[in-house]
A and B are shown apart, each in its own frame.
Chain A
Amino acid sequence: MDERTEVIIEKLKKAKREQLKLTWLRFKTNKAALFSLYVLAILIIIAILAPYITPEDPYAFDLRRALEPPSLASPFGRDEMGRDILSRVILGSRYSIGVAFLSVLIGGSVGLVFGLISGYYGEWVDHIIQRITDALLSFPMLLLAIALVSVLGVGLANVAVSVGISTIPVYIRLTRGLVLQVKSEDYVIAARVIGKKSGYIIFRHILPNVISPVIVQSTYYMGLTILIASGLGFLGLGVQPPTPEWGTMIGSGRTYLFSSPHVVVFPGLFILITALCFNLVGDGFRDALDPRVRVLVKKVKI
Chain B
Amino acid sequence: MTIMSLSKYVLMRLIHAIPTLIGIVLIMFILVRVLPGDPARLIAGMEATEEDVQKIREILGLNKPLHEQFIDYISSLLKGDLGTSLKFGTPVIKEIMARFPYTVQLAIVAELFAVLIGIPLGIISAVKPYTKSGYVSTIISLIGSSMPIYWLGLMLIYLFSVHLRLLPSHGAGTPRHIILPAITLAVLLMGNIVRITRTAMIESLESNYITTARAKGLSEKIVVYRHALKNAAIPIVTIMGLQLGSLMGGAILTESVFAWPGLGLLLVDSIFFRDYPLIQGIILFFATVFVILNIIVDVIYALIDPRVRESLWMREQRL
Chain A residues proximal to chain B, CB less than 8 Å:
131-132, 134-136, 138-143, 146-148, 150-151, 153, 223, 227-228, 230-231, 234-237, 247, 250, 254, 257-258, 261, 264-265, 267-268, 271-272, 275-276, 278-280
Contact = CB atoms under 8 A, between A and B. Distances in A.
Nearest to B27: A135
Contacts, number: 137
A139 B24 contact: yes
B245 interface: yes
B146 A279 contact: yes
Nearest to B32: A151
Interface string B80-114: 00000000000000000000000000000000000
Decide if the interface of chain B is mainly helix, strand, loop or mixed.
Answer: helix
Given A134-B23, A140-B244, A150-B279, A223 B256 contact: no
26 contacts: A131-B20, A134-B23, A138-B24, A138-B291, A139-B283, A139-B286, A141-B245, A142-B252, A146-B267, A147-B31, A150-B35, A150-B271, A151-B32, A151-B35, A227-B147, A228-B249, A231-B148, A235-B253, A250-B150, A267-B151, A271-B148, A272-B146, A272-B147, A275-B145, A276-B143, A279-B142
Contact of A279 (B145, B158, B252): B145
A275 B147 CA distance: 7
A148 B147 contact: no
Interface of B: 19-21, 23-24, 26-28, 31-32, 34-36, 142-143, 145-148, 150-152, 154-155, 157-158, 162, 244-250, 252-253, 256-257, 267-268, 271-272, 279, 283, 286-287, 290-291, 294
A140 B151 contact: no
Nearest to A253: B154
The 6 closest A-B pairs by CB, nearest first: A142-B249, A135-B23, A268-B151, A140-B245, A275-B146, A276-B146
Contacts of A247: 148, 150
A235 B267 CA distance: 11
B287 A143 contact: yes
Given A138-B20, A140-B246, A143-B287, A257 B151 contact: no
Contacts of B268: 146, 235-237
B197 to A, nearest CB: 16
A136 B252 CA distance: 19
A271 B151 contact: yes
Nearest to B268: A235
Given A134-B23, A140-B248, A276-B143, A227 B154 contact: no
